[in-house]
A and B are shown apart, each in its own frame.
Chain A
Amino acid sequence: MLTVEALKEFGADTETGLARCLNKEELYLKLVKKLAESDDLTKLEGAIAENNLEAAFNAAHTLKGVTANLSLDPILVPTSEMTEHLRRGDDVDYNSYLKEIRAQWEKFRALVS
């Protein structure tokens, strides 16, 4: 079962995340679970594979926004950096970002299920 403790151990800034949710644990955990079901990361991966940087930016931007609001820092930090590169259209190795994000995502998913 998903707990705040587990998320904290994962590296989330649960204090801030909870405060944003009016310190309602139930609400916080509900929204976190919803995120775990979202396909934003799959979309991002698909866009990179097709080299569609605009679509990639939109997907990354969304994922960044939600993880920021829930203070899921381990996913937020690499997603945020990737989003900024995509915004500028930088020629960087996006796949290494994806790898890092995917790794954190899987850890996160394990917590939820």
Chain B
Amino acid sequence: MEAEKNIFEKVKRYVLIVEDEQINRELLGAIVSERYEVLYAADGEEAWNIIKEKGQIISVMLLDLVMPKMDGFELMKKVMENEDTRHIPIIVLTSEKSAEVKSLNMGASDFITKPYDMPEVILARINRIIEHSENRSIIKSTERDELTGLFSRNFFYEYILVIRRLNEDREMDAIAINIDHFHLINEIYGRNYGDMVLKTIAKTLKSYARENDGIAARVEADTFYLYAKHRDDYGDLSSRIGEDMNEISKTVHAHVRIGIYPEKKTDTDIENMFDRAKLACNTIRGKFRESVAFYNDELHENVFFSERLIHDMYEGIEKKQFKVYFQPKYDIQENEPVLRSAEALIRWQHPEFGMISPGAFISLFEENGLIQKIDHFIWKEAASNVRKWRDKYGVTLPVSVNVSRIDIYDPEIESRIMNILNEFDLKPADLHLEITESAYADNAEQLVEMVRNFRKKGFIIEMDDFGAGYSSLNMLSTVPIDVLKLDMKFVRNMNKDEKSMRMIELIMDIAGFLSVPVVAEGVENEEQYRLLKDAGCELIQGYYFSKPVPPEEFEEFVKKLADK
């Protein structure tokens, strides 16, 4: 236990003495108070009231058997039957041999005989019982991490439980410490050096824990946990780690991150506290100038919200909370704007959070691949509506759907889309596929191959959000596309700054050179519409004509077109 044991020695432990005879009670109290705080009760009833109130902090109870009101056996039964109190070890005070067996059967841990043994014996017995009870659940797991000598996770958690129970007025922090790109240190400088780094950090944390009434653990390869006295500033710990690391090498710089979650009185789940500390710690991953981060609720809410959305997605699809909306695209180069096609956009009517904007969940689902499910759903909905419009109104109106970056890696993507088309008896030209530039950055070859294959089958490929990222002319010349979609921000700023307007003209020129039409998104007003029309932009999509609308409403557009 070495250093960390300090905190266990420092905490006050309470011993409850239950004995009706005043002189015996006082004598025992004098002995016990040599090492512990003492609580007194003169009968079982009084004892039970104290236990109900302070049970959590009572380390052991010394119990006389023969007492008025409620006797020792009755009290013992009550304590043992109650979930909240049965952790309290009981040492029975008795002069009767016959009572020993009965007490043992009822769960007593030990005996003190009357007349009392010598004080040393009594104290030793109490001490042994307390140690035993505090370690009982811990003994089963491995106490130490072999490499660093710090506690292992299970042990660490168990000790926190003990500290919490014995130290009601504590103000502690849950702290997670992690090294950025530790695997690189191992790879570049070798395993031995990596181990040295871990040991050095462990040593620093150990002495920090000792000084701050805390305990330290290594829980994963390069993740350490600390549970220590609350502080507002961790610059000190951070620089200490830095200095100690400097001692082993001046050239290798490991970025050590510290995330802190200050414990609240209401916190119960230990793992939860450290998850939050880790969360704070991860917010500064890769930010080499920052090494300390405190947890805040906003952080939690973001993550909590994200996790909820991920969790709720499957049910959302099943229960049809996701809806595909359609936004019309108009050809503006005719005398009068003509509806030419539509874009399918996803909406999520969440039962609890209401309408969630795609901005809140698309990138989230992109990260973990769930976006494929959403894509498939949209493809099918789009196809089914195209079919419906044709059957009902005799109108052929293609719909653009997104193909996410991750879909490009799906070897089944072609057959998936073809199956949908077959299901609704449609042709490839009925669905336009929108891809983004970023997919090109990820894997140019794969994208080019996929686009070629789709085009061969007759699909129309649209390059979405052009100009949003690092647009590359090289990309435009290698990926064979059919339509260029201007990123919204150019349109938004075109009548505000000169540059955006020039960019639009430039992109129009490029499109002209490639002989592909340009679609402008996010067109909101007459002025933008005029400017774009004059610049030679063929197609427009935006609130100026219509916001994205549910299929029922979009049917009105289709109907109008059919009536013409």
Contact = CB atoms under 8 A, between A and B. Distances in A.
A95 B134 CA distance: 52
A20 B66 contact: no
Nearest to A19: B118
A104 interface: no
Interface stretch (B21-29, B79-87, B293-301, B318-326): B21-29
Most chain A beta-carbon contacts within 10 A, residue among B26, B95, B115, B116: B115
Interface string B1-44: 00000000000000000000111101100110010000000000
B interface, how many residues as a size bin? 10 to 19
B119 interface: yes
A24 B116 CA distance: 16
A63 to B, nearest CB: 10
Nearest to A27: B30
B31 A22 contact: yes
A65 B21 contact: yes
B115 A68 contact: yes
A69 B30 contact: no
B114 interface: yes
A72 to B, nearest CB: 11
Contact of B30 (A24, A34, A61, A68): A24
Contacts of A20: 27, 31, 115-116, 118-119
A10 B353 CA distance: 86
A35 B27 CA distance: 12
Interface in A46-70: 58, 61-62, 65-66, 68-70
B27 A61 contact: no
A68 B119 contact: no
A69 B116 contact: yes
Contacts of B34: 22
A66 B26 contact: no
B334 to A, nearest CB: 107
Given A20-B27, A21-B27, A31-B26, A66 B21 contact: yes
A21 B23 contact: no
A61 B20 CA distance: 12
Contact of B24 (A27, A58, A69, A71): A69
Contacts of B23: 31, 34-35, 38, 66, 69-70
A9 B30 CA distance: 26
Contacts of A61: 66
B308 to A, nearest CB: 61
Contacts of A24: 30
Interface of A: 19-22, 24, 27, 31, 34-35, 38, 58, 61-62, 65-66, 68-71
Interface of B: 21-24, 26-27, 30-31, 34, 66, 95, 114-116, 118-119
7 contacts: A20-B116, A20-B119, A21-B30, A62-B21, A65-B95, A68-B114, A69-B116
Given A65-B21, A70-B27, 4 more contacts: A20-B27, A31-B27, A35-B23, A58-B66
